[in-house]
């Protein structure tokens, strides 16, 4: 019986990074976004078995992005859905960057902690957490969808369909995560009521519908090819501001 209890406790630690017995000691912090902004950054420190829950409200279908920079390599975060301790994301096994479409409306928790071995040694860490919440479900051009109501910039970029002539103009909206040098870009198709959603991070573009993405530098721009059918010219200033 004792072995069974120990095994169950280890499973809890693997899933959540913090045992159920320590829940009462978790510090609670609310993440607040500035008016008109879809991103926020928090900084702080932890020591030993200290844990902090960052809480933020979001809607189902929105995209959440969380990235962590920390002075101690044993610092991780988990992402928990509303009203559930079963993590959607476990940093100790998946790394320090999360991007995902949220399953339902409610208050999500980003739980920050030191791994148990570092906590036992009473180690400390300084950290920066970057949060971004964007739009409705990022369908990446597969069907109609509303672009984000809260964004950092909007305008028009050169685009074309079928051939890389870039002789048309497409409307865009962008949500930036400047500390992480990343962005989510919603681009309206010139001829159809749908959007291409591009994710930019670590100097690389991705999308959600399986279309192959290639990108090459052209002066102070990225020339992006989505599936050999859609072509966009994306200025550096769109991604990074300025």
Question: 3-class DSSP state for residue 22?
Answer: helix
Residues 11 and 126 occupy one common structural domain: yes
Contacts 24+ apart (CB under 8 A), 209-215: 209/139, 209/140, 209/141, 209/142, 211/140, 211/141
Q: Give 110-142 pLDDT, tens digit per residue.
A: 999 999 999 999 999 999 999 988 764 444 443
* Per-position DSSP letters for 147-181, written without gaps between them: PPSS-SEEEEEEEEESSTT--EEEEEEEEEEGGGT
Number of folded domains that form the chain: 2
Phi/psi of residue 121, nearest 5 degrees: -85, 5
Residue 99 and residue 216 in one domain: no
169 and 110 part of one domain: no
Q: What is the CATH number of the domain that holds 49?
A: 2.60.120.380
139 assigned to some structural domain: no
Torsional sign, CA 23, 24, 27, 31: positive
In contact, 150 and 125? CB cutoff 8 Å: no
Nearest-CA neighbor of 63 among 154, 140, 127?
A: 140
Q: How does residue 188 score in pLDDT terms, banded at 50, 70 and 90? A: confident
Structural domain containing residue 112: 2-134
Among 134, 166, 181, residue at a domain's last position? 134
Domain check: are 235 and 164 in the same one? yes
How high is the pLDDT of residue 83?
87
pLDDT of residue 184: 86
For the entire predicted model, the pTM comes to 0.53
pLDDT tens digit string along 20-57? Answer: 434 447 899 998 877 657 788 999 999 999 999 999 98
Same domain, 127 and 12: yes
pLDDT at site 177: 84
Residues 77, 26 share a domain: yes
Say what percent of the chain tops pLDDT 70: 81
pLDDT for the residue 138: 41
Q: What is the pLDDT of residue 64?
A: 87
Length of the chain: 242
> What local confidence, expressed as pLDDT, does residue 133 receive?
85
- Residue with the bigger pLDDT between 197 and 142: it is 197
> How confident is the model over 61-106, as pLDDT tens digits?
788 899 999 999 999 999 999 988 889 899 998 889 998 888 888 8
Does residue 108 contact residue 81 with C-beta atoms inside 8 Å? Answer: yes
In a domain, 20, yes or no: yes
Distance between CA 114 and CA 167 in Å, rounded?
52
In a domain, 219, yes or no: yes
Could you give the residue ranges of the DSSP H alpha helices within the chain? 2-16, 91-94, 116-120, 236-240
My answer on whether 76 and 180 are in the same domain is: no
- pLDDT of 178 reads 82
Q: Which pLDDT does position 134 carry in this prediction?
A: 78
């Amino acid at each position: 019986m004792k072995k069974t209890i120990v095994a169950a406790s280890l499973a809890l630690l693997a899933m959540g990074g913090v045992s159920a017995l320590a829940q009462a000691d978790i510090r609670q912090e609310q993440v607040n976004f500035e008016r008109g902004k879809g991103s926020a950054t928090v900084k702080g420190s932890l020591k030993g078995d200290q844990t902090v829950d960052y809480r933020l409200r979001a809607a189902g279908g929105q995209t959440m992005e969380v990235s962590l920079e920390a002075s101690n390599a044993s610092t991780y975060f988990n992402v928990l859905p509303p009203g559930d301790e079963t993590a959607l994301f476990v940093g100790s096994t998946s790394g320090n960057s999360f991007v995902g479409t949220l399953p339902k409306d409610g208050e999500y928790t980003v739980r920050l902690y030191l791994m148990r071995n570092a906590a036992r040694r009473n180690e400390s860490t300084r950290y920066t957490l970057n949060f971004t919440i964007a739009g409705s479900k990022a369908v990446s051009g597969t069907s109609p969808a509303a672009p984000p109501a809260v964004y950092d910039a909007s305008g028009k970029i050169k685009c074309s369909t079928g051939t890389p002539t870039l002789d048309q103009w497409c409307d865009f909206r962008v949500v930036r995560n400047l500390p992480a040098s990343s962005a989510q870009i919603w681009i309206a198709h010139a001829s159809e009521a749908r959007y291409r959603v591009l994710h930019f991070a670590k100097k690389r573009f991705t999308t959600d519908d399986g279309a192959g993405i290639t990108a090459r530098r052209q002066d102070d721009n990225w020339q992006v090819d989505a599936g050999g059918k859609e072509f966009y010219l994306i200025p550096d200033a769109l991604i990074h501001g300025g």
